[in-house]
Chain A
């Protein structure tokens, strides 16, 4: 090429740059720094599926602290945003044809935070009682059914076997949930994990500090430290962000903050009205159906929650199941009145908020009570959750896999574990239909979560289900 041509080319392309603008491109992650996160609520130790970090005195729950737990603990498999599974502490997994015996081949070279190696024995011990009716143990080859003289192969490395009394086609997906995290009690007596961070400080209800685990099997995380400050109201959180005292704060997806980057998840939290099976006042299904018909989901999602939620008719939102429309209904106050009359419901009914400090949940509960009164019920809000006839509850679904999300929902709603005939979507739909039968659970909305981020936060990529991926985050001004 002649130099003149190159100059001409340079001139014309420079013009194109101005016209076309610049498409973004990649910057490699930087190491170091402290990420400061402000949260409204503290992890609650009271829910199902909780497990403890006794060494540091911390309590996490599978429900509302999945993001924190995943900093410290790993699972055998990991759920991706499309409902698929990726290798975690297990490199591969398989089941028998009846989905009763699952084998997980462990990743070699993984160490706990104390430096002790991850063994099949440790993994099996950790998985004991994770799935009712299933037992975890070390892999021991069995004779092949088609060739009894030969033993099955366990493949290279150590394996864990989970054997169940009943078929569990969803078990691999369930192994991605925080409640199936692999933990281990070190020789010093502390419960520890293999995750990218270790808990270094825990002040119950106020502050937690996590530090990078240099020996993490997936590589040391980019951040040195994560500081989590809890029990900050939204106004204080936003102020901290604006003053540069926080890097990540909670945000309302419906209320973007001017000039601030906001990351929102898909609607992955079910807000539902759950009736007590011990309550005489709601024993007649027509009463429960009337509450469902009276609930004005569109107003709750669109106005009360400012568009940060979608009306819910199923346990799972359509983006997870693809079939939520099969459960859809309509707000029908006249029909609700009719059902109430048919049931001769006159006794007072009390509704509680399952998480008393959750302002969003309280708003929903107040509207549900209002809607029920419009349908003729005598309803009151109560602070006494144990004696309430019904409760408004929020349940993080925790997975984009329909089966795993249904199991999580059932655990957190304290309903019987769903049974799946096979791994098909039809089986998930049938299981969800069984969960909703009897109208003990009335889905109200599916809500998303959102976070406002300071400009120094890079590669923030929260999962679609709302859980964080802080091991991938890095900070602009930190090079180490």
Chain B
């Protein structure tokens, strides 16, 4: 029997205007606007007109106008959409860079106009979940304002997140992940732009690798984090035959010096398979092969700086994105060792700014910056396959 894997698009963020219905908080706006209008008109008949200058759907506008008419009736006013009432009220829904703006211009018979202005935050609204038949699955781990550098699950109940300021341990609760410990990361020198970091977690503690800095804690909860200047190599793989790589403390790439000793050209990331001969590097210099060997160079492919190994279906796959700028949405795709695509793209609401394989390589953590909200979203990417 074949199982069909489904990808769940978690809360794809869209502008409020693209939502079909009025956001719930607009009910409060209708109430406040009613109070302001009735404060001018009393219970006289009012003629209402509506104008939409915002990216608000016709349905949302209709919802809001119905809510306002209802509130006016409850307040004793006599609203209608016909002309000729004692007061004309022109309601405009507009928007500025951060808010939805509601204006009621109330004109009396002499043409004197009084204005009431109200605002509501223009929150992104979740779209209804879409289901697509795909093999790559993405599960949201954490969403936050500060850039996430790495996020790893020690086990299904414990998640550790490294961001530019803190390390936080989360425990799984019925309502979702809940912070159980958190500690500041305090490097002794300023960090480079495009900051990167890597977690190495164990049941009894962790290390967090940052440029020129290693921070450690002897337990996951509570976290007691101490940082020291260090150029210790960052772990690329774990277990037997583990490989680490030195990171350039003033830049955003690995120097190319591997441990155990081998020297390759500087690279941003590497998909490291079980055997040392099966490496693929995303070189700093496009088109350059960091190491000798036909399988080691990612330069011939339309991939970006982030590539990682993903183990699925008994095979080692390469998870990679494309090669555009940070201002564009991103997509990840799995490739076979022969560089053939073996999945459809998994799309994100912004650029994928970091990819790290889990130690067992059965999942990859992808951090994306949502271009609509500016938030950073860490996902666990896994691959499901036919049996």
Q: Do A and B come from one complex?
A: yes
Identify the A interface with B (CB < 8 A).
1, 5-6, 9-10, 13-14, 16-17, 20, 22-31, 80-84, 109, 214-222, 318-323, 325-326, 400, 402, 424-426, 429, 458-461, 464, 471-472, 476, 479
B242 within 8 A of A: no
**Across the two chains, which residue of chain A brings its CB closest to B384?**
A1
**Across the two chains, which residue of chain A brings its CB closest to B117?**
A426
**A25 engages B92 (CB within 8 Å):** no
**A25 engages B96 (CB within 8 Å):** no
Q: Check A318/B305 contact, CB under 8 A, given A10-B336, A25-B332, A26-B325.
A: no
Stretch among B19-27, B166-174, B218-226, B339-347 lining the A interface: B339-347
**A325 engages B92 (CB within 8 Å):** yes
Residues of chain A within 8 A of B190, CB atoms compared: 109, 215-217, 219
**A221 engages B193 (CB within 8 Å):** yes
Q: List 8 A-B contacts (CB under 8 A).
A: A1-B385, A6-B385, A17-B333, A22-B302, A26-B326, A31-B251, A222-B193, A222-B194
**A10 engages B341 (CB within 8 Å):** yes
Q: Point out the residue from B99, B100, B117, B330 that lies within 8 Å of A25, measured CB to CB.
A: B330
B97 within 8 A of A: yes
Residues of chain A within 8 A of B345, CB atoms compared: 20, 22-23
Residues of chain A within 8 A of B341, CB atoms compared: 10, 13-14, 16-17
**A319 engages B322 (CB within 8 Å):** no
B217-269 residues with Cβ-Cβ distance < 8 A to A are 250-253, 266, 268
B329 within 8 A of A: yes
**A23 engages B330 (CB within 8 Å):** yes
Stretch among B42-50, B75-83, B147-155, B313-321 lining the A interface: B313-321
**Across the two chains, which residue of chain B brings its CB closest to A221?**
B193
Which residue among A30, A221, A472, A476 has the maximum number of chain B CB atoms within 10 Å of its CB? Answer: A30
**Across the two chains, which residue of chain B brings its CB closest to A218?**
B193
State in angstroms the CA–CA spacing of A68 and B185 once bound together: 33
**B386 engages A5 (CB within 8 Å):** yes
Binary CB contact string for chain B from 182 to 207 against chain A (1 if under 8 A, 0 otherwise): 00000000111111000000000000
Q: How far is the CB of B56 from chain A (nearest CB, A)?
A: 12
**A219 engages B191 (CB within 8 Å):** yes
**B344 engages A16 (CB within 8 Å):** yes
B287-345 residues with Cβ-Cβ distance < 8 A to A are 302-306, 312-315, 320-333, 336, 338, 340-345
> Which secondary structure dominates where chain A touches chain B?
loop
B105 within 8 A of A: yes
Q: How far is the CB of A45 from chain B (nearest CB, A)?
A: 31
**B330 engages A24 (CB within 8 Å):** yes
**Across the two chains, which residue of chain A brings its CB closest to B305?**
A28
State in angstroms the CA–CA spacing of A16 and B25 once bound together: 42
Q: Point out the residue from B266, B303, B306, B340 that lies within 8 Å of A14, measured CB to CB.
A: B340
With A23-B347, A458-B325 given, name 20 new contacts (CB 8 A).
Answer: A1-B314, A9-B135, A9-B343, A13-B344, A22-B322, A24-B331, A25-B306, A25-B322, A25-B331, A26-B352, A28-B253, A219-B192, A220-B193, A222-B193, A318-B53, A323-B94, A325-B103, A400-B97, A424-B119, A472-B193
Residues of chain A within 8 A of B101, CB atoms compared: 322-323, 425
Q: Check A5/B105 contact, CB under 8 A, given A26-B351, A83-B98, A221-B193.
A: no
Residues of chain B within 8 A of A31, CB atoms compared: 251-252
**A425 engages B194 (CB within 8 Å):** no
Which residue among A28, A82, A221, A426 has the maximum number of chain B CB atoms within 10 Å of its CB? Answer: A28
**B97 engages A464 (CB within 8 Å):** yes
Q: How far is the CB of A431 from chain B (nearest CB, A)?
A: 13
Q: How far is the CB of A362 from chain B (nearest CB, A)?
A: 31
Residues of chain A within 8 A of B191, CB atoms compared: 219
**A25 engages B323 (CB within 8 Å):** yes
Q: Point out the residue from B100, B103, B105, B250 that lies within 8 Å of A220, measured CB to CB.
A: B250
Q: Please give me the 3 A-B residue pairs with the lowest Cβ-Cβ distance, nearest first.
A: A25-B321, A24-B324, A1-B313
**A319 engages B268 (CB within 8 Å):** no
Residues of chain A within 8 A of B286, CB atoms compared: 476
Q: How far is the CB of B203 from chain A (nearest CB, A)?
A: 31
State in angstroms the CA–CA spacing of A436 and B42 once bound together: 31
